[in-house]
Every structure is written in structure tokens, then in C-alpha cells.
Structure 1
Amino acid sequence: MTSLEYDVVVIGAGPVGENVADRVVRGGLTAAIVERELVGGECSYWACMPTKALLRSASALRAARQLPGAREAVTGNLDAAAVLGRRDSFASHWRDDGQVSWLESAGIALHRGQGRIASARVVEVTGVDGVTTRLTARHAVVVATGSSALLPDIPGLRAAAPWSSREAASAGSVPRRLAIIGGGVVATEMATAFAALGSSVEVLARDGVLPSAEPFASELVTESLREAGVSVRLGVEAASVNRDDRGIVHIATVDGERVEADEVLVAIGRTPNTQDIGLDRVGLVPGAWLAVDDTLRVVGGGGWLYAAGDVNRRVLLTHQGKYQARAVGDAIVARAKGEKVEDGRWGRHAATADERAVPQVVFSDPEIASVGLTAAAAETAGLRIRVVDYDLGTVAGASLQADGYKGHARMVVDEDRKVVVGFTLAGPDVAELIHAATIAIVGEVPLDRLWHAVPAYPTVSEVWLRLLETYGR
């Protein structure tokens, strides 16, 4: 068995693991990264990038059809093959040569295979050839293995070969009929994408559409999906699934109804990729989420084990995982150099933005962009709040963007501190507006100061002025 030593060993070469390794190398340490699949991870090949590529062409077509002059120039429908081809290019045709080259240029060692913790600070990597390499970390081991789609225990589901988000994002053709079990972000985005590509889509949303979002966002997306021809069935739960000899999927619902489809996508949540990484060898539970402190050090992990990204279940979003990666990388470097590591709320090495300042965009039609707390979450947190709503379609910049622009904005204000703690936008192309709200929330900018942040006219950002006017002094 070959044995090698590094300062830090990272298990998982997705965007989180890559950023951890890069951060520690920039800090003067050596790093090795272990990956059993493609370097670049879920986001690069089966999530963020390919799914947004699937959605963008339809979004551009919708925008053109909402403008006189452009509308008349548009003929025909989407070219599904061209859309899938563009998607393939954004997934690098499921090859990781470019990502591997980047690791090499960054001075990060790559070990391909299944990584398992063997003992304190020791990771054994079993390659596809069966050969095992032992990696010893002088300072830290970081688990950045991400998560996978959760498959519920519905009778017959696994035997029916369902799609997860991976199969949906990498589909080689457009199914004539697609059934989706779930109503969250993946379900909503894929219903939007495949309906635009020509599928007859049926959504079984037991808990509703985007149940964690502000209610108005859920209502707008549900309405839009139905206008696009999607059958959205709220409160409906699948009881059993069967794929017959012809390949047709049959879904029986709890209330006794039947749904037929050519493919079924299951999008009800995620499960951590910690089943086979050796957690039991260090007293932790295989298959469990990993609890961490604000420097991302694993609780019960001996002080040398860290977890960043999906596996710690703080926020299952790529950008938050990369934020955590920067924090944990800095913390490891500081501890290795004997520097003081700030664990407090505003400490440089602490990942505190995961608490109440998480931005997220759902690339549905309309887009939903949000950051911070919803009104319901703020009340649950015990805050004394005021909710300020505004019709986004009446803002001058929005009316110029599209005829019949339909959207809504909500600002949630902490009345005791007079700061914004939540912000949600629903409407075409609102994704690019959310960072201003993120800065306002993270910076705890008082409303009296926000009055002096004058939005340009005529832009959709003028909604900030309208919300402040509605709030009053």
C-alpha cells in the first residue's frame, strides 16, 4: 500500500471540496483531494449549470414573445435538440478534463477512488483497479461529499427506475409524458423546463409548490405552470409506482387516482453522501448528516475532522457551500499556523451567513429570488416584524421589460432594529436583483440609510424606493 502525507485531505471534489483545497493551498499548506466520480461534482454536471442551461432558452423565448416587434420576429417553438446540445456543453459533455487541469494548476493533488476514513487523520483511497493508497493529514480531514436525491419508500418505486435530479438534468431526449413527485425547487424547475421542451408534465405536490417560499411566490409559480399546460395537483401523494413491460410508468395516488407517464422524476429532498466514507471508524454514524460548529469542525470529530457543504445540512446550496469552504479553509490554515481562530458571530473564520442571510433563486417562470427570512419564519423566530408588499409590475423598469409584466416584491422588516431581515421577489429576470437585498440584510443597513441608496430610473431596482415609500418613515 502506498502512503502519502499532506497537510489537509479533502474527501469530495465538487465545488465545495475544490474551494477548501484551494483555500488551504493559498494559505501555504499542502492539500490532496479525493473523488470517486467527476471532478467538479453535482453542480457542474447534474445540477446548477446544466439545469439552468435547460431553462434559459425557454426563458429567452418567453421574453421575446412579451415584446411587440420581437414577438413578430419569433416563429416556431424551441428546438429541443439544440437546447439539449447547449446543455451538454455546459456539462462539459460529462468529462472533467478541464477541472482536473485546474487542480493541477492550483497545486492540489488528485486521488481518484472511494475515500474512507480509516483512523484519526488517515484516509484510505480505493481506486477502480482495487489498489489502495493511504493518505495521512497532518492537520485536517474535510468531508465535502455532498448529497444525493432522496428516494422515498413508495412500493414499486425503485424497481420502476425513476429519474432523480441527475437523470432529469442529463436526459438525452424529451419524454412525451413526465410525472414529477414533489413540489420543491427541483420539481418546479424541471416542470418548467420539460413543459417548454414539449413534454406533457404532471406534478404531484403533496406539500404544495415551493412550500418554503412566501405564499405569493408559490401561487404565482403554480399559476404559471398551469398556464404552460402543466397539471399541478396539490396535496396529492403517490401510494405506489409500477413500470409495465412496455416501459410505461403507472402511479397510484393515495386517493385512488391513476397517473401514467413515460418517465417519473422523484424530487422530494436530499440525503447525505456519508454512507461509505468510514465514519464508523471514528465513532460517527454512517449515512448521517454531520453536525458542525461555526468553523465547520465536526461535533465529536476529534478536532481534526471538518465538514462543509451539503453534508452538514446547514444550507443545501452551492454558493453557501463555497462560502463555507472559504471559512473552513481559513480556519484550518489559522489553526495550523497557531493563530487565534475567531468562533464568534462575526469572526473571520466563522460561517455565520448560513443562519439568516441565505440568498436563493428558483429559475422557474416567474423566477423567485429570496434572501433571509420569510414572514412566517421571522415570526417563528420571535421577531416583531412588519411586512411590506409591492406590485412589481407597476414599477417603470418592469413595464419596459415586458408587456403585462407580472411580479411581486416583499420586504420583511424587524421593527425593533429597523432593518430588513427578509426579501422576496417574484417576476421575470429578478435573479440579478437579489444581491442588493443580501447586502442590506448582511450589513444590517438601517432603513434610514437605505433611503439614501437611490435606485437608477427606469430599472426594476426602483422597487426598493417603492417599498420604502410604502413602509413610510
Structure 2
Amino acid sequence: MSGSEEFDVVVIGAGPTGENLADRARAGGLSVAIVEGELVGGECSYWACMPSKAMLRPPAALRDARRLRGAREAVTGALDAAAVLRRRDGFASHWKDHGQVAWLESAGITLVRGHGRLDGPRRVRVEGTDWDRRVLTARHAVAVCTGTRAALPDLPGLGGAGAWTSREATGSAAVPARLAVVGGGAVATELATAWSALGSRVTLLVRGSGLLPRMEPFAGELVAAALRESGVDVRTGVSVRGLTRDREVALDLGEHGELRTDEVLFATGRRAATEDLGLETVGLEPGGWIAVDDTGLAVGVDGGWLYAAGDVNGRALLTHQGKYQARVFGTAIADRAAGRDLDVAPWGRSVATADRAGAPQVVFTDPEAASVGLTLAEATARGLRVRAVDYDLADVAGASLHADGYRGRARAVIDLDRETVVGATFVGSGVTELLHSATVAVTAEVPLGRLWHAVPAYPTISEVWLRLLETWRG
């Protein structure tokens, strides 16, 4: 069977980014089809954000209880790993997408299941499982929202070793006795934290000199120290040269010898999911990131019809930033279709300014690490005249109430010429909820003189804002 249909907008990829872009275009009065070859809801819902955080939260709650005198005495049992994994499965909807499909239907968005490929300007060819193909034509726009896939290194023996990526690591039904995690970023540190808490003997192999290289150096240092205290064997400056599997996995670490483990997870980065997308039919190179302007239009494609939103454009590989882009770009598509002027000034309605200036990130390790904006090194490299203001979170009353022996640190990066915050980093238990206030301060470019009048409630961890400003004023 085959068919041809026409819509105002065709979206390829029904993850969080694609769903949000489709919703904004539909809210703008356009007809929208969305194409998905796997589960509606995408990577974040089933193999990343939701299942990983569901695995991390029960151990965190248990640790929090054990950090308080009077509460720790009530903790009489160990973590129930099987129950944690069952709860995780619930948050991954047991890898069924009925709920997400129902939402698309309620929003008036047409779902087309199958693998979508560009087939020239404004055309998407979809190959399905129970029919041959359909051709979807877009009157106004095609939006690519296909995200990323795990980037695996080219190593001898990798193909036959049954190595995990983040998908297997967030979906495993059993706790491996021994787990090697290769990588030092957010995925590696979070999953090392989770599986160690669930009972695995975890070895973290980091090629570089430290963890969380995209954050301030102290973030990686504090997380590494805590991982070691929890029993994780953290090894830096180590590279995997090859691997083999018999009854167990043997990792060749070169001059560092051999490591034997039951499972190995490679969390070594992401690559754009564009290798079989038909980019060559519109003049783009397949397999790479799709560069876009700040309104989402693909660079190098004539006619102003091809958009790319979310991780696939490489601007900010974070689910919430993909959803932010989707709202901006979907509205821009609707405005262009209606002949309305776009607001393209920085921070305007039609541009994704926050990707460069105010993208927040949280790493749900123990301690948590949260940051937004520029690090001190990044701000200096951009030529800004800046100062880092640091404060020990343990000296904040709310933190000492939060946990006995609290450990953490906060940093604000101050632009000395404009007297605004251009970056902030927090490390410690419970600091994730500090991040939105920092994001507002950075994206709104709130002057420090006005921020002084934003009074934090006492006794909360948020009082660190007052301490940072006091340190700044001297």
C-alpha cells in the first residue's frame, strides 16, 4: 500500500522536542503530522531522563534519611533494588506509548508510524511496518527532531562484547554484580551513582583528568570524592584499548592492565541521529549535526522550509532546551505561515537566545551538581572581565538543617562591567531547586543592585544568594 497526504507542517521525530514543536504549530492554526519509528515520547521518556531519575531518587531519599540524627535510627533495612527497578519501569510506562499517543490525538496532531526520510524539498517519505510507504508533503515546513544516539568508540572487540549504552543501562532488569562505566560526564556519573546504590561494584573509567568537564572544576572534584566514598572505584587518565567477552568482559586498559567485569557501559558522548534521514536530497551532508539559525531554519537549505530542533542541531543537548527550542521554532513556523513579522532581537519571541546564554543543567549524582550560563573559564575565554564569587554551602543555615555534616559549594560568575551574573554553579544535596532562580538571574540579566532586594526565605539553602552577594560587596 502507498499513499500521499499534505499537511502544513511535517515533524520527523516524536520525542519531547517534536511533540512540543508540533503542539506550538498546531496551536498556531496549522495542520501537523508527526512521524515516529519507535515509541512516541522519545529517548527521554523511555531510555534516559525518566528511567534514570527514577533509579536515582530512592537511593537519594535513603541517603538523606541517613544524614539526619533521629531519622537514621529509623532506617532499619537496605534498599530494595527489585522494587526500585519496578518503580523505574512504571515511570518508563513499561515501554508502551499509549498515553503519549492519546495526547497527540487530543491535540489534533496526526501520528504516522514508520521511518521518515526527506525526499527533496518539503517531502517526507515514510516506510512503515504494515504498509509499503507514504509520502507526506508540507505546505510550509518540515521540522527534523530526531535527537541523538550514543556515540561509541571504534574499539577492537566492541561489536561482540554486548556493551551497554544508556539504553541498556536504564532498562536492565537485573543488577550486575560488577559494572564498568566508561566516561566522565553526566550520563556516566549518574548511572555509576545509580547502579552502585543498587548493589553493583562499579568501576568508573575516565579518559580525562576529572569528572563533569563542562562544569566548574570543583563540581567534578566533589562528585568524584563522593563516588569514591560510596565505594565506586574512580580511575582517571585511563583509556580502554579493546575488549573481549567470554563469561565476563575483559577490558584492555593498556599500561593500566586489564579489568574484568560482568557488564560495561559506554557513556562517551552522543551523535546526531541523521545518518538515514535523506539530508543529501536537500543538499546537506548526512550523519552530522544540522546547523540552524536562531529561528530554527536549517543553514544551507534554500526556500526557508527546513527546521531542526533539539539535540539534532547540536546547540544544547538537553531535553529542556529542546523543548524550549520547539516552543520558539514552532511559533516562528506558525508566524511565518500567517505572514506575521518575527521578533528576532535577542530574547525575542522568535529566537532561541537562551541556548547560548542561559541553558541550565543538572547532574543528579550525590551530591547533585547544577549549573547555568558560563563557567569562569568560558567567560574569560569570551573576553569578559569577570570575578568568581564562591561560598561554602555548609555555612548556610538551611543546608545545615537539610543534612548533618552537609558538604557543598556555590559559585557565581560576575560580569564586572555590567554587574550581572553570567553563570552560577551549585554542588550539594538538594541544590537542584536553586537552579531556576539562577537561570532567571542570568537570562534576565538582573543587576546585582536589584538582586540584593530579592530576599531569600530563612532558613533555606537559597539563602546562599544573600551570602554570595555579601561576599561580592565585601
TM range (shorter): over 0.9
Equivalent positions of 1:60-99 (< 5 A) are: 60-99=61-100
- Please say if residues 347 and 354 of structure 2, whose CA atoms lie closer than 8 Å, have aligned partners that are also in contact: no
Question: Match for residue 376 of structure 1?
Answer: 377
Deviation track 1:413-441 (CA, whole Å, cap 9, x = no partner) reads: 00010000010000001111100010001
Question: Match for residue 298 of structure 2?
Answer: 298
Question: Match for residue 137 of structure 2?
Answer: 136
Deviation track 1:323-359 (CA, whole Å, cap 9, x = no partner) reads: 0000110110010001112333232110110002110
Supply the RMSD in Å over aligned alpha carbons.
0.8
Amino acid at match of 2:99: G
Tell me, in whole angstroms, the C-alpha distance in 1 between the residues paired with 2:439 and 2:159. 40
Deviation track 1:249-274 (CA, whole Å, cap 9, x = no partner) reads: 00011324111110000001001110
Question: Match for residue 20 of structure 1?
Answer: 21
Of the structure 1 ranges 209-218 and 258-267, higher mean CA displacement relative to structure 2 is found in 209-218
Question: Match for residue 216 of structure 2?
Answer: 214
Equivalent positions of 1:41-440 (< 5 A) are: 41-207=42-208, 208-244=210-246, 246=247, 248-302=248-302, 303-440=304-441
Aligned residues: 471
Tell me, in whole angstroms, the C-alpha distance in 2 between the residues paired with 1:180 and 1:381. 34
- Please say if residues 15 and 40 of structure 2, whose CA atoms lie closer than 8 Å, have aligned partners that are also in contact: yes
Q: Describe the SS at the equivalent of 1:387.
A: strand
Tell me, in whole angstroms, the C-alpha distance in 1 between the residues paired with 2:452 and 2:58. 37
Amino acid at match of 1:103: L
Matched residues, percent identical? 63
Runs of 4+, deviation exceeding 6 Å: none
Tell me, in whole angstroms, the C-alpha distance in 1 between the residues paired with 2:28 and 2:357. 29
- Please say if residues 372 and 439 of structure 2, whose CA atoms lie closer than 8 Å, have aligned partners that are also in contact: yes
Residue ranges of structure 1 left out of the alignment (5+ in a row): none
Deviation track 1:38-66 (CA, whole Å, cap 9, x = no partner) reads: 00000000011110000000000000001
Q: Describe the SS at the equivalent of 1:156.
A: coil
Deviation track 1:165-190 (CA, whole Å, cap 9, x = no partner) reads: 01001111100000011110000000
Question: Match for residue 3 of structure 1?
Answer: 4
Amino acid at match of 2:228: R
Tell me, in whole angstroms, the C-alpha distance in 2 between the residues paired with 1:466 and 1:83. 38
Deviation track 1:26-85 (CA, whole Å, cap 9, x = no partner) reads: 110000000000000000000111100000000000000011111000012110000000
Superposition deviation, residue 130 in structure 1: 4.4
- Please say if residues 238 and 256 of structure 2, whose CA atoms lie closer than 8 Å, have aligned partners that are also in contact: no
Amino acid at match of 2:15: G
Tell me, in whole angstroms, the C-alpha distance in 2 between the residues paired with 1:351 and 1:364. 29
Tell me, in whole angstroms, the C-alpha distance in 1 between the residues paired with 2:102 and 2:452. 48
Tell me, in whole angstroms, the C-alpha distance in 2 between the residues paired with 1:97 and 1:219. 42
Amino acid at match of 2:168: E
Tell me, in whole angstroms, the C-alpha distance in 1 between the residues paired with 2:301 and 2:348. 22
Q: Describe the SS at the equivalent of 1:296.
A: coil
Tell me, in whole angstroms, the C-alpha distance in 2 between the residues paired with 1:332 and 1:454. 40
Q: Describe the SS at the equivalent of 2:23.
A: helix
Amino acid at match of 2:444: G
Deviation track 1:429-457 (CA, whole Å, cap 9, x = no partner) reads: 11111000100011100111111001100
Q: Describe the SS at the equivalent of 2:424.
A: strand
Amino acid at match of 1:226: R
Equivalent positions of 1:447-462 (< 5 A) are: 447-462=448-463
Tell me, in whole angstroms, the C-alpha distance in 2 between the residues paired with 1:254 and 1:443. 49
Of the structure 1 ranges 275-284 and 317-326, higher mean CA displacement relative to structure 2 is found in 275-284
Tell me, in whole angstroms, the C-alpha distance in 2 between the residues paired with 1:390 and 1:127. 56
- Please say if residues 40 and 100 of structure 2, whose CA atoms lie closer than 8 Å, have aligned partners that are also in contact: yes
Tell me, in whole angstroms, the C-alpha distance in 2 between the residues paired with 1:298 and 1:182. 31
Q: Describe the SS at the equivalent of 2:213.
A: coil
Q: Describe the SS at the equivalent of 1:158.
A: coil
- Please say if residues 182 and 188 of structure 2, whose CA atoms lie closer than 8 Å, have aligned partners that are also in contact: yes
Q: Describe the SS at the equivalent of 1:238.
A: coil
Of the structure 1 ranges 203-212 and 310-319, higher mean CA displacement relative to structure 2 is found in 203-212
Deviation track 1:221-258 (CA, whole Å, cap 9, x = no partner) reads: 000000010000011011111111x2x00001132411
Superposition deviation, residue 277 in structure 1: 1.1
Q: Describe the SS at the equivalent of 1:160.
A: coil
Tell me, in whole angstroms, the C-alpha distance in 1 between the residues paired with 2:130 and 2:276. 18
Tell me, in whole angstroms, the C-alpha distance in 2 between the residues paired with 1:45 and 1:198. 23
Tell me, in whole angstroms, the C-alpha distance in 2 between the residues paired with 1:271 and 1:432. 30
Amino acid at match of 1:274: T
Amino acid at match of 2:349: R
- Please say if residues 388 and 414 of structure 2, whose CA atoms lie closer than 8 Å, have aligned partners that are also in contact: yes
Tell me, in whole angstroms, the C-alpha distance in 1 between the residues paired with 2:257 and 2:148. 32
Superposition deviation, residue 129 in structure 1: 2.6
Of the structure 1 ranges 121-130 and 9-18, higher mean CA displacement relative to structure 2 is found in 121-130
